[in-house]
Every structure is written in structure tokens, then in C-alpha cells.
Chain A
């Protein structure tokens, strides 16, 4: 059996890749995908911990997270589509009317 720590390390690596993706990528869709990667990294943690503790909470939580992520994608893509109609770009560096 693979120990819990392997899963947690993999999940941490995936999460970090997601964070770096959000910070480095300039395309709104790519940033969005990186956020999804972060959420799925967390899901992996939940499932692994749930299995390790022999508790259902973690597995159930993952369902909720997936539902929430789907809702977020629906809204998020709508916002990005609307933005690209108005501005004809989804490069976050060019979305900069407001600055302090």
C-alpha cells in the first residue's frame, strides 16, 4: 500500500504548479485552468486523507468541491467570453483600466 505522505506530496506539488501557473500565465483561460488544478490537488488530498482516516467526510467533500468548481467554471467562462467581446483580448496585462 502506498503511504499517505506520497499522496500529500503529490498534491502539494500539483497545488504549487497551480499557484505558479496563476502567477506566471497571462491568459485568463490559462489562469483559470491553473486554479482548477489547485482545486483538484486539494481534492486529491481530501480523498487520500479520507481513505487514510477511514472516514467518509473527505470523499463527500470532494463531491461538493467538484460541484462548486463546475459552477465557478460556468460563471467564469461567461465573464471571460463577455470580456473578450468587449475588449477583444483576454490577456490580463491588457485588462488594466483601473490602477491605483
Chain B
């Protein structure tokens, strides 16, 4: 038992540090801003995200451990961190007018988004189960608050309570899993665990297997795999729409990064054991998400079930567990980020204060009344459904391609069949927009500059990645090259 003071390598954590300082700065700035006019706080946040992005690119290509092997800064974590930062930036841009309309324009909102982004970044960079757990909790606690941010709305409150109780419940499972893994291997260090397992002779240690199962439950809760998905539709429906957008992409990206690092790296020697489990979970997740989404009438709820289904597709890439599979997950995450944020952006823009215009019925005739908005929504929905030439198509193509290459032909077939089912409910919205007459007179939309910028970035990302996928795929491939 000896304590070593680790070398302080602040440079490796530059993006996280910048982001944390920005978040505190936002809290300070917001105090001096007049009530209801908190926009500058958002711009401070965006500036911080931009600096963090720049400093991330400077770390690219130099994989290293930092802080006594607690943090791993490699291309893998940098890629995910970029997705997370873009998600945070777009969510902030989409929130500015939305919060004003809801009468809840507070600077703390932006600070919480930044804090949870910091948590996510620590998760992706975690090289030790302690770091991953702390990152997960930093992220989750901020998001509990964000989900209940509209504090006078019963739905928002309900969403926050459900997320809090089930989220804390699931982190207890995750933690118990970590304790078991620690007990079985004697370390919480990912590299140490993988080294222990590669030389261990008694692979079927029940404590280790129980730990793996509990970790699977903990991660599964956060990425909303069936049967741990119960909270998702309720929380996504009740939370403020911009928070739903942030959650559906950011949390998934961060948890999948940690999931991959722990399972495909530390617990690699148990791969035959967890692969079977994941196979079943992926099929259940895809099928249930898609089938139940068909029956939804609320667009946020429909997108929630669709995000469950997308978690299932991403798990297919994990099951393939070859290099193509891992890089296709990264690519898919990037494509999904732009697409899903864009779709939620349209929902925010079209929505009215409170619960207005959130039913799929409300979208009837929208395509003629607002041609641009209708077109944008159609692009995002096509991308979610996986129709070329959008990012969603290329992402699905690579994921299922990786599964076929790894010999999981049935899994790929089930995945493609699920995609076909999903086309039905995505196209239903498009049909509403273009083939039905408006039910009621649609009022004028409030096109705010920040929202326009966010939607342009989202649609540009969706189409660019869809039409010229190769540079992004190369980037994803480089990211998994040095995965340690």
C-alpha cells in the first residue's frame, strides 16, 4: 500500500479543463445579465466549446496515458469527444429561443449542458473504471437537472424524477459490477484487467461473470437497450425538447465509448460470453424499438423509440467486434448526431409553448405551408430511416457490412428487416407533411438566427457525410487504430 502522487499532465486534459472553466464562467456571467436576456451566457458557452474543439484537434494522433493511467487520450476518445462537443454546441444553439419561448431563459441551463459534456468527455477518455464511473455520474446528475428544467411543467418534473430514480438505480448496478470486477481481478484499471484476464487460467470465475453481467445492465440502462429501456420514452417525451436532443445523442455517444472500451478492450477475453448476450439484446432492442414506434402519436415519443432502435443498430457493430465494426460505430455515431439533432431541431422550431404541435397529426400540411422546414424534416427522417444519399444510409451500410464480414449474417438480416419496418413510421410523418391538408391554421414560425445556424450545420453534416463518406470513414478508422 503506497500512494504515488501522479504527474500532473494538464495538457492532455486541456479540452475538459477549458470546458469546465467555461461552465463556471457561464455561471458567473449569468448573474450580471438582466432577467430573461441570458443569450450572452450561451455565446460564452459556445466560445468555450469552440476552444475545446480546437485544443482537441491538437491532441489528435498522439495517444497517451495521463494522470497515473486514469485517463487515456487517444484518437478514439478524441473522435467521440468531437461528436459530444458538436452535440453540445448544436443543443445550445437550439435552446436559446426555445428557452425564451418557454419563459425559462436561465444561464444555468448552458452551464449544465457544459458540465454534462465534461462528464461525457471523461467517460470516453476513462482508462480506469473509477474515471468512467465519475464521468457517468457527472453527466447523469447534470442531465437529471436539465430534464426537469421547466420546473413549472408537470411533464418535465415527471421526466426528471423518472430519470433520476431509474438512473441512480442503474448506476448502483454498474457500481456493483465494478466491485465484482475489482474483486475478481484485483484492479480497476482497464489495462490491468485485460492483462489479468489474458493470463488467468480460471476464466469462468463466477464473480467475474457476475461483474460483467452487472456492468452490462448498468451500461444497457444508459443507452436504453431492451429490456432496460422503460424510462426512455417517458423521459424523452417530458424533458425540454433541446435536452431530449442532447440526451439522445450525447449520452449514447459517451456511454457507447465507455461500453466499447470496457467490453471490447478490458473484458476482451470474455468476448464469447458477452457476445451471445449482446446478440440477443441487440435483436430485442432493434425489434421492440421499431415496432412500438409505429404505434406512437407524439413525435418526441416516436423519436425516443427510434433512438432505442438506433442503439440496437449500434450494438450490431459491437457484436461484429472487428476493426470495421468498431470504426463503423464511430461513423454511425457521427452520422446519428447530425441527423437526430436536426430532427429534434425541426421539432423544436415547429413546436409551440408547452405541449403545442408535438403530435404527428399536427404535422399535416406542414410541407406546403413551410417548404424549407418540411424539406429539412424529410432529409432528417430519410437519414434516420437509412435512405441514400444521407448519412444514415452509409452508417447502416457499414454497420451491417461489418456484421456480415464477421459472419453474423442473420443479425445483419434482422437489422435490415428492422430498417424496413422503421421506414414505415418515418415516412408516415413525411406523408402527413405533404399529403394531408392542415388540420388547423398554422401560425407563423419564429426563425431565430441561432436555430437557423444549428439546422444548417445539421443538414450540411447529414448530407455531406452521406454523399462523401470516405474522409469521415477514414477518420473513424484512424480513431480505432491505436485503441488501447
A-side residues, CB < 8 A to B, are 8, 15, 18, 22, 28, 31-32, 35, 38-39, 41-42, 45-46, 49, 52-58, 60-61, 64-65, 68, 71-72, 75-76, 78-80, 82-83, 86-87, 92, 95-100
B169 interface contact, C-beta 8 A: yes
Residues A57 and B158 in contact, CB atoms below 8 Å apart: no
- CB <8 Å contact, B161 and A28: yes
The residue from A38, A41, A52, A80 contacting B161, defined by CB atoms under 8 A apart? A80
Taking CB atoms, residues of chain B closer than 8 Å to A79 are 144-145, 148, 157, 160-161, 164
Chain A residues with Cβ under 8 A from B168's Cβ? 32, 35, 72, 76
Of B171-179, B272-280, B340-348, B374-382, which stretch is located at the interface? B171-179
Q: Per a CB cutoff under 8 Å, which of B133, B144, B161, B175 touches A83?
A: B161
Bound Cα distance from A42 to B165, whole angstroms: 17
Interface centre among A32, A54, A75, A96 (most CB of B within 10 A): A75
Whether A56 contacts B292 by the Cβ 8 Å rule is: no
Q: Flag B150-163 by CB within 8 Å of A: 1 or 0 each.
A: 01101101111110
With both beta carbons as reference points, the residue of chain B lying nearest to A11 in the complex is identified as B179
Question: In the assembled complex, how far is the CB of residue A40 from the closest CB belonging to chain B, in whole angstroms?
Answer: 10
Contact B301 A75 (CB under 8 A): no
Q: What 0/1 pattern do residues 179 to 192 of B give for CB contact below 8 A with A?
A: 11011001110000
Given contacts A55-B1, A79-B144, A79-B157, contact A15 B176 (CB under 8 A): yes
22 residue pairs bridging A and B, Cβ less than 8 Å apart:
A32-B165, A42-B172, A42-B176, A45-B183, A49-B179, A49-B182, A52-B183, A54-B1, A55-B187, A57-B130, A58-B179, A58-B182, A64-B134, A75-B144, A75-B145, A76-B164, A79-B157, A82-B157, A83-B157, A87-B157, A98-B155, A99-B234
Please judge, given known A-B contacts A75-B164, A76-B168, whether A61 and B188 are in contact too, CB under 8 Å: yes
Near A by CB (< 8 A), chain B positions 284-309 give 292, 295-296, 301
Q: Indicate if B3 sits at the interface (CB-CB under 8 A).
A: yes
Is there contact, CB below 8 Å, between A39 and B144?
no
**Interfacial residues, chain B to chain A (CB-CB below 8 A):** 1, 3, 130, 133-134, 137, 141, 144-145, 148, 151-152, 154-155, 157-162, 164-165, 168-169, 172, 175-176, 178-180, 182-183, 186-188, 233-234, 237-238, 292, 295-296, 301
- For chain A, what secondary structure do more than half of its interface residues adopt (helix, strand, loop), or is it mixed? helix
Mostly, the B contact residues are: helix
Nearest 6 pairs of A and B residues by beta carbon: A38-B172, A45-B179, A49-B183, A68-B137, A98-B234, A83-B157
Contact of A57 among B134, B182, B233, B238 (CB under 8 A): B182
Complex Cα gap A32–B172 (Å): 12
Pair A68/B134 contact, Cβ less than 8 Å: yes
Most buried by A among B1, B144, B155, B157: B157
Residues of A within 8 A of B172 (CB): 15, 18, 35, 38-39, 42
Query: Which one of A22, A31, A54, A65 has the greatest number of beta carbons of chain B within 10 Å?
Result: A65
List 8 extra interface pairs beyond A55-B1, A58-B182, A98-B159, CB under 8 A.
A22-B169, A28-B161, A35-B172, A61-B130, A75-B141, A80-B161, A83-B157, A100-B233
CB closest chain-A residue, reference B176? A42
Q: Which A residue's beta carbon lies closest to that of B159?
A: A98
B152 adjacent to A86 (CB under 8 Å): yes
A84 to chain B: closest CB distance in Å? 9
The answer to whether A53 touches B186, judged by C-beta atoms less than 8 angstroms apart, is yes
**A58 CB to nearest B CB, Å:** 6
Partner of B3 from A56, A82, A96, A100 at Cβ < 8 Å = A56
Which of chain B's residues have a CB closer than 8 A to the CB of A71? 137, 141
**B162: min CB distance to chain A, Å:** 8
What is the minimal beta-carbon distance from A15 to any residue of chain B, in angstroms? Answer: 6
- Assess whether B233 is in contact with A98, with CB atoms less than 8 Å apart: yes
Distance from A60 Cβ to chain B, minimum over Cβ atoms (Å)? 8
Q: Are B155 and A82 in contact (CB under 8 A)?
A: no
